[in-house]
Structure 1
Amino acid sequence: MSDIERTEFQLPEDLPLTRAPEAPVDAHQHPGEQDAETSLRPRSLQEFIGQPKVRDQLSLVLTGARKRGVVPDHVLLSGPPGLGKTTMAMIIAQELGTSLRMTSGPALERAGDLAAMLSNLMEGDVLFIDEIHRIARPAEEMLYMAMEDFRIDVIVGKGPGATSIPLEIPPFTLVGATTRSGMLTGPLRDRFGFTAQMEFYGSDDLTRVVTRAAAILDVPIDVDAAVEIASRSRGTPRIANRLLRRVRDFAEVNSDGHIDLAAAQGALAIFDVDELGLDRLDRAVLEALIKGHGGGPVGVGSLAIAVGEESATVEEVCEPYLVRAGLVARTGRGRVATAAAWHHLGLTPPEGTLGLF
């Protein structure tokens, strides 16, 4: 069995929770969070909160395939991290009553890596490839034939003596997840029969996510406390669940474990998550942009040096939310702080600031 293949996925009934180390408030999964996240994942489309269009469309695809007795079309899930793409893949396998095989694009460096995984599939299995846009080109080209014809050609030998051995594989459903759909090649994107775009969550849906997670963790929580946590979660369920676990720690240490509004606000203050969901690094970027460079424009490299981080961290972790929150604008000359960013830091924006009327 290939070393890139994980075992069949079985949804656990009871899973011990582990406490995650502190991390920036971003939607990427950090070490130590997998077990806790797995215990909070919904197990069916009915339990899945939010994404109503995706749920309804996917339900039609799966129900139609079951009635015809065939495997569903391949599914592509795109959207920012933390919105439930992996969870949706698990639910697809659960709804179909089949096994789920999981891997990631970066792990498939050679065509042989993919061939080893495909050859171990059973009929009707769901193959989930996370970050599929990062799959190596040789493996991607092999995937074309597997997706369309359910067969692959394995090359044996090198040079003039090389021979191609056709290998039939059972019909399967590929579920690909990507945070950068624009990086997918056209031929790969066109082979997916159903494409879904995951959207950021609204406050009401996130409040339901927090309330449901608190019930699973057996943590009593007030409605206004759940609303407070949801409002600081950047529209992302993974962040909401992470913040809930930190607030739970605060409530257990400082009181009887009951989460009320004061406990939620106190915990989030200790963990440097403000009213907009910004953490220490986000505010450091804003302060460097406004106090250090007069509001910009300034390049991301200069901001990274000012806050002592890598440029990739600022660009991939901080900047997406700052732009979406209307605090930073990306221009051809560099990053510019908006009037909302000045006000958020308690400063008066100068005349001509973007967003100032």
Structure 2
Amino acid sequence: MVDERVVAPEVDEAERAAEAALRPRRLAEFVGQHVVREQLELVLHAALARGGVPDHVLLSGPPGLGKTTLAMIIAAELGTSVRVTSGPAIQHAGDLAAVLSSLDEGEVLFVDEIHRLARPAEELLYVAMEDFRVDVVVGKGAGANAIGLTLPPFTVVGATTRAGLLPAPLRDRFGFTGHLDFYSSAELEQVLRRSAGLLGVDLADDAAAEIAGRSRGTPRIANRLLRRVRDWAQVRGDGTCDRAAARAALEVYEVDELGLDRLDRAVLRALCVRFGGGPVGLTTLAVAVGEEPETVETVAEPFLVREGLIGRTPRGRVATPRAWEHLDLAAPGGPASLFG
């Protein structure tokens, strides 16, 4: 994965705009997630046939798999507009009340990172989702009055990377919950071919396979790597994105054969070389690589664990035999000692 943790604001905006341009607009264009897509299609088409609004939708899964894209697609399939906000942006119940009271009938309210809503806003959202009503408090102290406002029917689409942090009362308000899984290499190749067509990139099949294999099962990463390969081909190649160009470009951007980036390898190397394979605590490991513990835990660790390169034990993080092999290092004491 291209290191995106320190970027200039204008570069970040350009990346976001490029990602938005590659998003599919309808369910029929959406690649992968076949089960969720079929279930969602039934929910939306049934609501359209009844002439009402669909149940509220909760989308969960790791970053970059298409939760925001599906929220936009839901609005497009319903033929309505979408209002976008996020959990961290709504810290007071009044903020949410202002958003809810401005919704039009049938509109979609997309709440990204919904697990980070403040508790007062959560409690207000419970009532709004179930009864389409919101209570607005006017005045302060003993003279304060609660005025109930009836809301037009609408659909909340919540997205979360940590569904376990959602309180049960909020989870229960969603009529449909879809969990997005990582993509296969074949599915990512489909994503890349579609994106290459939109970008006007001449992408060879072997290059698509090379990029897909290093994209960590994530379409967002695949599309970003495609743009970096395109850049390399335009500047240092002949404009054709073949396997040689893909390998050369990804070497420049420090993305190895497994999809590990600079931070991933730094974590692995620190674990193996500095700490002898562990076990080592998260905070100590983060200090060793010069990152915040939260960055190591949320950005690098999930992929390393999923690839079987590190393990989490009660005593701390440990390197697996595959980690030593990937770094071309000899594990001290044999594999069994790593989990003793």
TM-score between the two structures when normalised by the length of structure 2: 0.95
* Deviation readout 1:147-195 (Å, 9 max, x if unpaired): 0111111111122211110101110000000000000000000000000
Q: Is the 8 A contact 1:339 1:355 kept in 2?
A: no
Q: Is the 8 A contact 2:3 2:261 kept in 1?
A: no
Query: What's the counterpart of residue 23 of structure 1?
Result: 4
**In 2, Cα distance between equivalents of 1:352 and 1:300:** 23
Equivalent AA in structure 1 for residue 4 of structure 2 = A
Query: What's the counterpart of residue 197 of structure 2?
Result: 215
Shift of the 355–75 alpha-carbon distance from structure 1 to 2, 3 Å rule, reads farther
Q: Is the 8 A contact 1:118 1:169 kept in 2?
A: yes
Q: Is the 8 A contact 2:309 2:323 kept in 1?
A: yes
Equivalent AA in structure 1 for residue 202 of structure 2 = P
- Ranges in structure 1 where 5+ consecutive residues have no aligned partner: 1-20
Displacement after TM superposition at 1:200 (Å)? 0.4
Shift of the 354–262 alpha-carbon distance from structure 1 to 2, 3 Å rule, reads farther
**In 1, Cα distance between equivalents of 2:331 and 2:188:** 32
Query: What's the counterpart of residue 230 of structure 2?
Result: 248
**In 2, Cα distance between equivalents of 1:340 and 1:320:** 16
Shift of the 317–134 alpha-carbon distance from structure 1 to 2, 3 Å rule, reads same
* Deviation readout 1:38-89 (Å, 9 max, x if unpaired): 1000011110000000000000000100111110000000000000000000
- 1:43 aligned to 2:25? yes
Q: 1:277 aligns with which of 230, 246, 259?
A: 259
- 1:235 aligned to 2:217? yes
Q: How does 1:155-174 map to 2 (within 5 A)?
A: 155-174=137-156
Spell out structure 1 runs of 4+ moving beyond 6 A: none
**In 1, Cα distance between equivalents of 2:151 and 2:190:** 42
Query: What's the counterpart of residue 16 of structure 1?
Result: none
Query: What's the counterpart of residue 76 of structure 2?
Result: 94
**In 1, Cα distance between equivalents of 2:225 and 2:268:** 22
Q: 2:318 aligns with which of 323, 331, 336?
A: 336
Query: What's the counterpart of residue 288 of structure 1?
Result: 270
TM-score between the two structures when normalised by the length of structure 1: 0.91
Query: What's the counterpart of residue 116 of structure 1?
Result: 98
Displacement after TM superposition at 1:355 (Å)? 10
What's the secondary structure of 1:175's corresponding residue?
strand
Query: What's the counterpart of residue 304 of structure 1?
Result: 286
Q: How many residues align?
A: 333
* Deviation readout 1:318-344 (Å, 9 max, x if unpaired): 111100110000000000000000000
Q: Is the 8 A contact 2:309 2:321 kept in 1?
A: yes
Equivalent AA in structure 1 for residue 249 of structure 2 = A
- 1:64 aligned to 2:46? yes
Q: 1:136 aligns with which of 105, 109, 118?
A: 118
Shift of the 144–299 alpha-carbon distance from structure 1 to 2, 3 Å rule, reads same
Displacement after TM superposition at 1:139 (Å)? 0.9
